[in-house]
Amino acid sequence: MPSVLSPDQRAAYDADGYVVVRGFFDAEEAALLKRAMEQDPAIRSHFYNRGDNDGGNTKMALWNHPGDSVYGMAARCLRMVDTMEDLLGGEVYHYHSKLTAKEPFEGGAWEWHQDYGYWYHNGCLFPLMASAMIALDRSTRENGCLQVLKGSHLLGRVEHRLLDGEQMGADLQRVEEAQKHLDTVYAEMDPGDVLLFHCNTLHRSDQNRSELRRWTMISCYNAARNDPYLDHHHPRYTPLQKVTDDAIKAAGLAFAGAEDESAFMVEAVAPSEIRAKRDSG
């Protein structure tokens, strides 16, 4: 099937580095994804915390290959993969997916960063990469929705450093200069909405100080022609087997199987050269 994006949405992605697609997944599909994240033992057993600079934590789980779970079907379905192939100009593969779970009153913040700030160090030569953030809960300013710096993907890659809470942060001086020229947009979403964003789009989020949970699932894709030249903790080019859009509902509340166990990571770690730079002072 073709991309789900209208010509105006496609143009907005190119100009702004992101686009929000309302109702990308319908209410039944969104509910299945939410329940799977809450109940799948593979997700629950692979939670780890990622701290911010002020003592807050975001719970995370990360897996490299989509598998046959209901959330694997969402990452492999035609409407998702064909849209990503349109954005990236050709065949794509699943780079990884993750759950980011901000709990009420204690969910952590994320500092300004680009995803390519990490992925560049993984041997991905070109920024032919993008992510799809799926809202599982209502995502608002109050509970720490994602903020994007509109048009910041046109800055190219910004230098990053490893922060005390193990996050990677973009060069703050450059970010502050960019903010003088570019608008910060709060990507508020309802369950089933999807935010598609370029790997060089600067983004961050605030702590969740509200009584409302903010869980999102993010699926990340790399162009097949951008096969990393280094071995690292995310996969090299792996052919992606697309499924029809009705496969999500057909899967029902399907969890990860035993064969998917190796796809989960204990914890994502910063690139070794970035870690060495911080440790050397």
> What is the DSSP annotation of 41-106?
HHHHTT-EEEE-TTS-EEEEEEESS-TTSHHHHHHHBHHHHHHHHHHHTS-EEEEEEEEEEE-TTT
The structure's pTM equals 0.94
E strand or H helix that includes residue 251 = helix 247-251
Place of tokens 């209502």: 138
13 touches 87 (CB < 8 A): yes
The alpha carbon dihedral of 15, 99, 62, 167 has a sign of positive
Residue 30's contacts (CB-CB under 8 Å, 6 or more residues apart) are 134, 135, 136, 191, 192
For tokens 């598609």, the residue is 196
Paired tokens of 83: 């849209």
Tell me, what's the pLDDT at 5? 98
What average pLDDT values come out for the chain (281 residues) when binned by 10 residues?
93 98 98 98 94 85 97 98 98 98 93 95 97 98 98 96 79 96 98 98 96 98 98 95 98 94 81 57 50
Dihedral, 15, 16, 20, 21 alpha carbons, nearest 10: 10
How many CA atoms are closer than 13 Å to the CA of 79, on its beta-carbon side? 16
Residues in the chain: 281
Residue pair 61/264 in contact (Cβ under 8 Å)? The answer is yes
The H-or-E segment that residue 221 falls in is strand 214-223
How many helices (H) and strands (E) in the chain? 9, 13
Query: What are residue 59's DSSP bridge partners?
Result: 49, 101
What values do phi and psi take at 91, rounded to 5? -55, 140
- For residue 52, CA distances in Å to 13, 15, 129 come to 29, 30, 25
Q: How far is CA 169 from the centre of its chain?
A: 16
